[in-house]
């Protein structure tokens, strides 16, 4: 990809102006239109020369039906990394986001749905929020209830106020008193720890000399291992996907069908969002950068959100590559911070 260091200031300004005009109007940008920019002070012929250089570098290209030019993925990338001026949110926009995620009584799932809809409403694109990774939430309380013979219902509450139910199959039958004893032991030892940490400690406990711990503790630890077995994080809340039908570059029926199928199958989208979990702040995938062909005309702007200073999920906006990045980036960034604050235990 061409870098900004290969271009002089005039060429960079022309590229910036071309990208901004294309994002605003959605029409290929010609030299005549650019020559009207008072800051360029270039003749249409000189502008055509600069545009030819930009095209040779793979930063812009000419659609078949037009004499104008549009940005390539490389052009957008250079624009986003080096030329973009991100404007802070207006106080009215910030108020809208804060009001949308104000939480007194809402559950975590209510807040995730609100965040997704909020992103969709403010950007007029699709908003997506991954569910908090179960590994990173902390245990508040656990109970075991006998179902039948070796089936036990596990109920555990996390620090995000979510109640999880799971049926486990044990090697032997337990009495209600034994199950209560196991729950008491696990609550005394593991409350306040993340599920990932519990799993790590459980494995260590099982590796200890079994003669040095009593049978009840071994049973409890065995049940904890079954209860907190690693599960794939394969879900998210999506809002406003029908907004994408309003963008001409995405409105081809076959393309839309593939996009909506990808949303419903989830695996590819989750894989993409999972890559953003490690990112520090806002991350942007433009077109084919996602490595996912169905998104080749889309951009994804994401930011991780945290609970107890630990990243638990990702939220973002999916839209056409021709999106107003300078507006979308701060919306995503601030919404991630507000969602994390709303999910933090009071």
**pLDDT in the model for residue 271:** 83
**pLDDT in the model for residue 233:** 57
**pLDDT in the model for residue 2:** 46
In whole angstroms, give the CA distance from residue 287 to residue 182. 52
**pLDDT in the model for residue 216:** 67
**pLDDT in the model for residue 201:** 79
**pLDDT in the model for residue 282:** 94
In whole angstroms, give the CA distance from residue 335 to residue 119. 8
Integer-rounded Cα radius of gyration of the chain: 26
**pLDDT in the model for residue 128:** 95
**pLDDT in the model for residue 299:** 96
Phi, psi of 83 (to 5 degrees): -115, -10
Enumerate long-range contacts of 197-201, CB under 8 Å, 24 or more apart: 198/139, 198/224, 198/228, 199/135, 199/225, 199/228, 199/229, 199/230
**pLDDT in the model for residue 73:** 96
Q: Which of 124, 129, 125 lies closest to 113, judged by CA?
A: 129
**pLDDT in the model for residue 149:** 80
**Residue 84, CA distances (Å) to 15, 57, 76, 334 in order:** 11, 19, 10, 18
Q: Which of 209, 142, 210 lies closest to 182, judged by CA?
A: 142
**pLDDT in the model for residue 239:** 94
What region, left, alpha or beta, does residue 325 occupy, with left being phi > 0 and alpha being psi -120 to 50 degrees? alpha
**pLDDT in the model for residue 38:** 86
pTM of the model as a whole: 0.75
In whole angstroms, give the CA distance from residue 216 to residue 124. 56
In whole angstroms, give the CA distance from residue 22 to residue 15. 11
**b/e string for 35-52 if b means 16 or more Cβ within 10 A?**
beeeebebeeeebbebbe
List Cβ neighbours of 170 (8 Å cut-off, separation of 6 or more). 150, 151, 152, 222, 223, 226
> Which residues of the chain have a pLDDT value below 50?
1-2, 209
**pLDDT in the model for residue 22:** 94
Q: Which two tokens stand for residue 313?
A: 């999920």
**pLDDT in the model for residue 238:** 93
């Amino acid at each position: 990809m061409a870098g900004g260091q290969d271009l002089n200031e005039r060429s960079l300004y022309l590229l910036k102006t071309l990208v901004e005009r294309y994002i605003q109007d959605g029409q290929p940008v010609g030299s005549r239109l650019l020559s009207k920019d008072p800051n360029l002070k270039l003749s249409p012929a000189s502008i055509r020369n600069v545009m030819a250089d930009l095209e040779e570098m793979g930063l812009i290209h000419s659609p078949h039906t037009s004499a104008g030019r549009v940005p390539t993925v490389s052009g957008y990338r250079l624009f986003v990394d080096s030329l973009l001026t991100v404007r802070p949110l207006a106080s009215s926009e910030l108020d809208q986001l804060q009001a949308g995620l104000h939480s007194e009584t809402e559950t975590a799932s209510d807040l995730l749905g609100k965040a997704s809809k909020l992103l969709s409403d403010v950007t007029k694109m699709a908003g997506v929020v991954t569910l908090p990774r179960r590994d990173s939430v902390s245990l508040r309380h656990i109970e075991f209830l006998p179902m039948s013979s070796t089936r036990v219902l596990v109920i555990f509450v996390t620090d995000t106020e979510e109640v999880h139910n799971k049926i486990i199959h044990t090697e032997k039958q337990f009495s209600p008193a034994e199950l209560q004893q196991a729950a008491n032991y696990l609550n005394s030892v593991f409350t306040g720890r993340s599920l990932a940490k519990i799993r790590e400690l459980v494995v260590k406990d099982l590796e200890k000399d079994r003669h040095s711990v009593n049978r009840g503790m071994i049973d409890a630890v065995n049940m904890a291992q079954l209860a907190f077995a690693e599960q794939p994080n394969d879900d998210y809340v999506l809002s406003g996907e029908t907004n994408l039908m309003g963008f001409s570059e995405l409105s081809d029926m076959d393309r839309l069908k593939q996009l909506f199928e990808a949303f419903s199958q989830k695996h590819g989208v989750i894989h993409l969002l999972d890559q953003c979990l490690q990112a520090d702040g806002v991350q942007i995938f433009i077109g084919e950068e996602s490595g996912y062909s169905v998104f080749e005309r889309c951009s994804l702007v994401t930011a991780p959100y945290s609970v107890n200073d630990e990243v638990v999920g990702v939220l973002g906006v999916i839209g056409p590559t021709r999106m107003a990045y300078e507006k979308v980036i701060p919306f995503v960034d601030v919404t991630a911070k507000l969602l994390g604050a709303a999910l933090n235990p009071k």
